Structure 1
């Protein structure tokens, strides 16, 4: 095989991979999780089913990677929360962005599909924790530690609990569709959390 052919193969594979991930997101947004199949993804992406199975063992793993590809780094690493020195302002900025993201239909449907898969696939759930949830939580806790050092958060605060108090109500409201995910709601969660954990 020529050097030129060697160079072309990885580019072609990456194009196919990106087409598959884009097709997965499009199908979920258009049809919902239940109607998405490996066959439909392959047809939309213009590849064979075996191409998909060569890279992913299940529909859930394709959905997971299509969701990861929406993030800037693609793997949850390299994430930093803003640190202006004002914890309240920084948290409100981040939580407002999170609420807006969850309320965006193009982002919301893949997240729901992914959560459906996580419930039924322990291996995928472990992959999700390792590749996305844990790195993101570590970045959040790094910002909270900075606030502790600045005296803006109780020195003995359990940072995992702080994150649960801050994010769990938003996630439950989104999951159960019990109310709108507004900037005002995000701000109220920050206010409540800081009242509970300030020195």
Structure 2
């Protein structure tokens, strides 16, 4: 199956280099490029049903990536979005994770670690750079490490998980996805088992 990654970064050299690296490192990959928030919004609007991952730069010429992250998480809760940043900023990292990002990747990361981070995220995990792990509370670590075991979930179950992690109830998730509450409950049971946790609160982002 062809994999699709949206790269949003205003630095042509970095963006084009990253796209070339993705093509060299992954089979059957299609990369969509955007150089600002406006073009990123348009790309997401056109392709959100088929995008597997968004790699989003934090500093863009027409705004901040964290603002676009928040917007996309509301508009397209099923999208996996990782933030690219020029700095290892603990406060920014924690803010993006609370908004639902699946990774925080410093731009000075080595090629090997960058690719490992992308593979981890594509498998359903969450990437946090080693230098920032100490800033994550033990409760949060348990919550997010559990999400590394979701690679076997269906597309619908991933949608349920994305909404569950924001703290929505089964009834609210059912309304959001236009499915029955009983169906949501069944999905949640499978998700908890797959993640190896006993409570839905263990999967939620701290508020």
Query: How does the TM-score come out when normalised to structure 2?
Result: 0.27
More strand by share: 2
Report which of the two has the higher share of helix.
1
Bigger relative contact order (CA 8 A; separation at least 6): 1
Question: TM-score by structure 1 length?
Answer: 0.28
Larger radius of gyration: 1
